[in-house]
Every structure is written in structure tokens, then in C-alpha cells.
Amino acid sequence: DQQVKQNSPSLSVQEGRISILNCDYTNSMFDYFLWYKKYPAEGPTFLISISSIKDKNEDGRFTVFLNKSAKHLSLHIVPSQPGDSAVYFCAASASTGNQFYFGTGTSLTVIP
Amino acid sequence: DGGITQSPKYLFRKEGQNVTLSCEQNLNHDAMYWYRQDPGQGLRLIYYSQIVNDFQKGDIAEGYSVSREKKESFPLTVTSAQKNPTAFYLCASSISRISYEQYFGPGTRLTVT
């Protein structure tokens, strides 16, 4: 059973606009969340993280929001750039656990 | 230049043959991981190792084996017992088990026919 879900397989956004990628999780024990970015034929690269003690974390154009009651997190990219076109994975972990659980990914296309 | 290397990038094998995928890191990380990615699915954990000479099964370990004789190396063997071995395999490492950021290699695409 998929514990981390990204229900939108793809998203297209105009350059300069905001991209919002969503992620839902089912395990209430998850307390640390990551976003990774992946280009074709490459391994994922770490983008941004958030722990459950926060509801927002910002790094430049990237902001992650966490809604613990809804078991939902989102990644905002503002402004979107063509180089942001990639697959984005969210991942979740419990501090008592040994692994991350990954979502299925959302393919973002930023249109120039 | 620190990082994780996986070789080869593409690998082709006949059904019934065992094949070993290489993963090397020079980040001085204690923990290493193997994931499998299939189309439309997230990364699924095959095996992980927190220290040398120790490793644990992940969610989909059946048909796979690993070794961790050196800190830098964590090879994965896909055995003939693995029913659907064709996939994209990713190796990752992190400073320690409690370190949350994992660094990934470029991956190996294995095709078994």
C-alpha cells in the first residue's frame, strides 16, 4: 500500500508563474519530509526538507508547506523556470524508522 | 569531487543469469541504500546498510542480495530468482542512519530478456 502519494503525474506551468506540487501521506508517524528533483537518466537530487515541528520551509524560489492535520505537503516554486522541468518526488520518514517512503513523482514542465 | 558512482549505466542480461550492479561512494557516508524504480511507481527500497558488514532487507528484497565489505562499496546482485528484474536501479548514501538527506547515484538501467 502506497504510504506516500503524488496524485498528479504531470503538471505544466508557464515560465514565471507558480508551480505547486502536492503530496499526501497516510502514516501519522512520519515526521520528516523531503523533496527530490530528478532529470531523465540521472539520480534524484535533494531539493528541500521540512520536519513536523514546522509548517513551512523556504529556500530561494522553493517553499515547502506542511499541513499535519491533513497529512499533506506541497512544494511551491516561484517563479518557475524552464530549468525546473523535471520529475519531483516527495519522500517521508519516521524518526523511529529506517527508511524513506517515496511518492510516484510528478513530472513538471515549465513552458517558456 | 565527492559523489556516488554506479556502473554501468545500461546493462543487458539474459534471463536466468545473475548480475551484479556496482555502487561506490567517496563521501565517507556510513549508510548506503539500493532502490528500484519502475514506471509509474515511486522508489522502493531493496536493501540498506548502516555500517560495514551489516545490511537489512527493505520492502522488496526477494531475489536480490548485497554485501558491504567496505564502507565505500555496496554492490547489488540481481539473482535469477527475481521475477521482474528489468528496472532502473538507484544507489544512495547518507551520513548515517539518522541523517535524513540521501545522495543518489546516476542509476543503472537493467534490461533482462
What pLDDT does residue A20 have? 98
Q: What is the pLDDT of residues B13-55, one digit of tens each?
A: 998 899 999 999 999 999 999 999 998 788 999 999 999 999 9
Query: Above 70 in pLDDT, residue B99?
Result: no
Among B25, B32, B100, B110, pick the best mutation site for testing chain A contact (most A Cβ within 10 A). B100
Q: Where are the beta strands (DSSP E) in chain A?
A: 4-5, 10-14, 19-25, 32-38, 45-51, 56-59, 62-67, 72-77, 86-93, 101-102, 106-111
What pLDDT does residue B39 have? 83
Q: Which residues of B touch A102 (CB under 8 A)?
A: 35, 42-44
Amino acid identity of residue A52, one-letter, is S
Cα A105 to chain centroid distance, Å, stands at 8
Q: Which residues of A touch B43 (CB under 8 A)?
A: 44, 89, 91, 102
What pLDDT does residue B80 have? 87
- For residue A107, the cross-strand partners are A10, A87
Pick the closest to residue A63 from A2, A13, A107, A19 (CA basis). A19
Q: How confident is the model at residue B100 (pLDDT cuts 50, 70, 90)?
A: confident
Q: Which residues of A touch B41 (CB under 8 A)?
A: 104
Contact present, A65 and A74 (Cβ < 8 Å) = yes
B95: which 3 cell numbers?
551520513
Q: What is the pLDDT of residues B56-98, one digit of tens each?
A: 999 999 999 999 999 999 999 999 888 899 999 999 999 887 6
Q: Give pLDDT < 70 ranges for chain A.
A: 1
User: Which residues, at least 6 apart from A69, have a Cβ–Cβ distance to it below 8 Å?
Assistant: none
What pLDDT does residue B1 have? 61
The half-sphere exposure of A89 on its side-chain side, counting CA atoms within 13 A, is 23
**Minimum-distance CB partner of A32 among B43, B92, B100:** B100
B90: which 3 cell numbers?
538507484
